[in-house]
């Protein structure tokens, strides 16, 4: 995969035991690698893996999940370790832990603490083109509008409809959000694994419940539900967003299923260069829970 194409693509990975041996075979440094923070891993494993990645020449973006951090002291120690290694970008989420391990119950609280301790860090937040099973559209909108002035980018949750993604970016512009958007798409993964992992990561509904979503439409259209056609979705999104100034590139949810990724990455056409949208400076956050 050439350098220009790699700059327009980010891979999300799980910090597994074999990640550091498998990743270089399909995605070379200095590519950007987004490192998840799952409840059973916790932030320590995310931070340790991110440090190993940056030492190998990658540009890691560690996830910090608010509900998995036990104290302000723990947060500060984690941030200092990342800063000392030259890591300058984070992705903040509430996380899937049922009860908070410490003082942070949603990503806005965590964002305020990160900004107070290390205002130089870039901070990404999540967006939901097809909604969230636990929050209303109004709650999602209010939460994002509260966090956007503090953020430097937005990553969308997995979406399986180019139309839904295009409509979502239009809604962002109408609301005044001007963050660069990394469009979240699944890598070439089996539908069985996609559904199982999606449920664990908080995107998931069963196929039965997802009949009205872009995911269901994409699966039913194929006539076979064994594998998901990521390349087709990416091409459709590129066509829809070719002239959209908010579109930064693709965020590929790999689930560490790397075997078929080389073919996908090598087949992608380059995006047109675009300027980075303006970003508002930090403002106070209003309460939310996401």
- What is the tens place of the pLDDT at every residue in 196-211? 655 554 444 333 334 4
> Top-level CATH class of 3-267?
alpha beta
CA–CA separation, 12 and 25 (whole Å): 16
Q: What is the structure's pLDDT at 207?
A: 36
CA–CA separation, 127 and 94 (whole Å): 12
Q: What is the structure's pLDDT at 183?
A: 96
Strand-pairing partners, residue 93, are 65
Helix (H) or strand (E) holding 91: strand 89-93
Phi and psi at residue 153, in whole multiples of 5°?
A: -160, 170
Six token digits for residue 247: 């579109």
CA–CA separation, 266 and 26 (whole Å): 10
Q: Which residue is listed with tokens 């909108």? A: 141
Which ranges of the chain have pLDDT less than 50?
201-212, 220, 222-225, 275-289
Q: What is the structure's pLDDT at 231?
A: 86
């Amino acid at each position: 995969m050439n350098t220009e194409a790699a700059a327009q693509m980010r891979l999300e990975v799980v910090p597994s035991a074999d990640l550091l041996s498998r990743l270089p075979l399909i995605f070379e440094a200095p590519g950007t690698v987004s490192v998840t923070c799952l409840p059973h891993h916790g932030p320590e494993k995310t931070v340790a893996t991110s440090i190993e990645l940056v030492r190998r020449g990658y540009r890691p973006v560690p996830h910090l999940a608010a509900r998995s951090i036990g104290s302000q002291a723990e947060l500060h120690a984690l941030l200092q370790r990342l800063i000392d290694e030259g890591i300058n970008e984070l992705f903040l989420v509430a996380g899937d832990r049922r009860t908070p391990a410490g003082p942070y119950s949603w990503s806005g609280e965590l964002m305020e603490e990160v900004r107070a301790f290390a205002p130089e860090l870039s901070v990404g937040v999540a967006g939901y083109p097809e909604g969230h099973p636990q929050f209303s559209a109004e709650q999602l909108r209010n939460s994002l509008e509260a966090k956007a002035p503090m953020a430097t980018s937005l990553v969308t949750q997995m979406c399986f409809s180019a139309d839904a993604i295009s409509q979502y970016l239009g809604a962002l512009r109408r609301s005044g959000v001007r963050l660069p958007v990394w469009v979240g798409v699944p890598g070439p993964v089996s539908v069985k694994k996609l559904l199982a992992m999606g449920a664990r990561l908080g995107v998931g509904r069963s196929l039965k419940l997802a009949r009205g979503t872009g995911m269901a439409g994409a699966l039913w259209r194929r006539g076979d539900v064994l594998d998901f056609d990521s390349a087709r979705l990416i091409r459709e999104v590129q066509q829809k967003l070719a002239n959209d100034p908010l579109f930064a590139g693709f965020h590929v949810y790999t689930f560490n299923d790397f075997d078929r990724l080389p073919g996908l990455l090598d087949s992608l056409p380059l995006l047109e260069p675009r300027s980075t949208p303006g970003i508002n400076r930090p403002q106070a956050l209003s309460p939310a829970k996401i």
